[in-house]
Amino acid sequence: MDWIRLGLLALAGFLTWTLNTLSAGGGGLLLIPAVTFITGAAAVAPVITLTELIGNPIRALAFRRDIDWSLVRWYLPGAIAGAAAGSWLFANSRAEWLQILIGIYLISAVWEFRGGARERSYRARR
């Protein structure tokens, strides 16, 4: 990869990270077309994963005073177990079944929140 493409990729990553931080999400989706244009479709998954692995800890560092670390202590074990189970499932499942499971989840999420008419299904305590 030449230096111009690398610079464009770094600029696109920084801009989407900034937008993601300010808007609380969606930056990774905006980075997909930029990465596809700059490097090609084969590099999208590794580049998006790398930007998330770099960007999320930096965001946590930037907002460390605003984070309720007692909640993180309760959330982290389940998040690690879920990430491990999800990565194992992703690596050991057929793509057709994953598409079906993701489709069922997305349909059930719309049904649960009634297309946005219902704000939340339960109250979470701190």
Band of residue 113 on the pLDDT scale cut at 50, 70, 90: low
Q: What is the pLDDT of residues 28-44, one digit of tens each?
A: 777 778 888 877 787 78
How many CB atoms sit inside 10 A of residue 9's CB?
19
The pLDDT of 2-19, averaged and rounded, is: 78
Provide the pLDDT for residue 9.
75
**Quick one: CA torsion of 25, 29, 34, 39, rounded to 10 degrees?**
120
* Residue 9, C-beta contacts closer than 8 angstroms, at least 6 positions apart: 34, 35, 38, 39, 47
Q: What is the pLDDT of residues 51-60, one digit of tens each?
A: 777 777 887 8
Provide the pLDDT for residue 90.
80
Q: What are phi and psi of 61, to 5 degrees?
A: -65, -40
Provide the pLDDT for residue 81.
96
Query: In the predicted model, what is the mean pLDDT of the chain?
Result: 79
